[in-house]
Amino acid sequence: MASANPVNIPLVKDTISREEIIALSDWLRSFPRLTKGDLTLEFEKKWSEWQGCKYSVFVNSGSSANLLMFYALLLSGRLKNKNIIVPAVSWVTTVAPAIQFGLDPIVCDCDPETLGLDIAHLGKLVDEHDPAAIILVHVLGFPNKMDEIAAICKDRDIILLEDSCESLGSLYKGVKTGNFGSMSSFSLYFGHHLSTIEGGMICTDDGELRDLLISLRSHGWDRDLPPARQSELRSRYGIDDFRALYTFYHPGFNVRSTDLQAFLGLEQLKKADTVVENRNGNFLAYDSTIKNFQYKVRQAEGTLVSNFCYPLITEKRDELVAELARAGVDSRPLVCGSIARHPFWYERYGRTELPFADIVHDHGMYIPNNHEMTSAEIEYVANVVNSVL
């Protein structure tokens, strides 16, 4: 099935509306502070309220959020060893910080039911390696099996990190993803659930980690820390207020975002619930319209999938990709496939066979979802898929 005049259904759409651009331009004409300032603090506060966590730290990307989570763990002294379990189906900047900071990543297969960590393989790896930490990804908005993962972490004294960059607003037994681990990351890049053009957020309930993240975000100084924490550091190291302006307590980064991005973020949060509702509705519409194929990832009981894009795993992938292109519909591989099949991994760690992640790598893809998709567009895309499968 190919249309004579193909429509254009992009994989994602920019969530920043015309009205938000007009509001931004009006704000800019007031000549406000553009670098990180009060709007960033307001955005972090309101994000925490919406997410249901104590603290949020705004950074310049979801990748930087992952970078800071790893580094904060390393500098906190909480890691009992260098072993960290990482998900096979993920993203390069979910895994790369472990390598960059000299940790020892161990790759875990993915679960056919959730695309997250495979519980049986995870248990085997935990027994073999006694890891200090686990990072998971809620792939395309599907929550991992959090009861089982949380039990493993509690039983074995393992720190849990969540990459929630594709799962804003997804629920597991009424709790939003990103609220199960010591820290979680979110992406505010173009095409994600919400966008600040570029941007990311780290969430935590741990005040000590929050202070460390804030310092690491800006060079390693104390300038943005709460006054009591500033006084403690300055007293400990004998730093006066003048010298403190350029005193660095940690070898930090500069991964701040700006108040311009925070302005957009505050506008975006106003529609967060609608975005989540629409993406879930689109997912359910796809699920009920697209016929069965090799594997079908469903919304599990007790969860809500704030779907980033709709996954397909089929041996007819190449044929389907070509047909979708002829019909004017974007598609992509199912995230990275298996991270163990990428040169950066196997040239360092060798070839690793992971049964289901390899299937995802060879046969996985995804098709468009965004909060503005119409029922007619979903039906059109589903019909193209059904014509091949």
Could you report the per-residue pLDDT of 291-322, keeping only the tens digit for each?
977 789 999 999 999 999 999 999 999 999 99
- DSSP, collapsed to helix, strand or coil, labels residue 41 as helix
Lowest mean pLDDT among 100-104, 238-242, 295-299, 359-363: 295-299
- Phi and psi dihedrals of 69, rounded to 5? -60, -50
- Work out the average pLDDT over 320-345: 97
**Domain spans of the chain, in order of start:** 18-269, 272-388
Would you name the residues annotated as active-site residues? 192
Q: Report the percent of the chain where pLDDT is more than 90.
A: 95
Please state which CATH number belongs to domain 18-269. 3.40.640.10
**Element at 313 (helix H, strand E):** strand 310-313
Position 295 scores a pLDDT of 87
For residue 294, what pLDDT is reported? 78
Q: What is the DSSP code (8-state) at residue 79?
A: -
| Predicted pLDDT of residue 7 | 75
pLDDT digits (tens, 9 = 90+) for 121-178: 999 999 999 999 999 999 999 999 999 999 999 999 999 999 999 999 999 999 999 9
**DSSP letter, residue 144:** P
28-54: average pLDDT: 97
* Percent of the chain residues topping a pLDDT of 70: 98
- Once rounded to an integer, what is the mean pLDDT over residues 273-290? 97
Is-contact 120 70, C-beta < 8 A? no
pLDDT at 4 over 70: no
Average pLDDT value for the chain: 96
Backbone dihedral angles phi then psi of residue 303, each to the nearest 5 degrees: -125, 160
At residue 38, φ and ψ (nearest 5 deg) are -65, -35
The reported pLDDT for the residue numbered 5 is 58
List, in order, residues 6 or more apart from 339 with CB less than 8 Å away: 86, 87, 88, 89, 90, 92, 95, 107, 345, 357
Mean pLDDT to the nearest integer, 29-52? 97
**Strands 183-187 vs 159-163: parallel, antiparallel or unpaired:** parallel
Query: What are the two backbone dihedrals, phi and then psi, of residue 332, each rounded to the nearest 5 degrees?
Result: -145, 165
* pLDDT of residue 49 exceeding 70: yes
State which CATH number among 3.40.50.2300, 3.90.1150.10, 3.40.50.2000, 1.10.760.10 fits the domain covering 272-388: 3.90.1150.10
Q: What is the pLDDT of residues 198-209, one digit of tens each?
A: 999 999 999 999
The C-alpha angle with vertex 307 and arms to 124 and 71, in degrees rounded to 5, equals 55
| Mean of pLDDT values over 375-388 | 97
Residues 385 and 367: beta-carbon distance below 8 Å: yes
Position with higher pLDDT, 1 vs 146? 146
120 burial via Cβ count (<10 Å: 0-12, 13-18, 19+): exposed
In the DSSP assignment, the letter for residue 143 is P
E-assigned strands of 47-110?
Answer: 55-59, 83-87, 104-108
Beta strands in 111-230 (DSSP E): 133-137, 159-163, 171-172, 175-176, 183-187, 200-204
Mean pLDDT of 98-113: 98
Helix, coil or strand: residue 304: strand
Please, which pLDDT band fits residue 1 given cuts at 50, 70 and 90? Answer: very low
Model-level pTM?
0.96
Q: Tell me what the mean pLDDT of segment 67-77 comes to.
A: 98
Rg (CA), the chain: 22
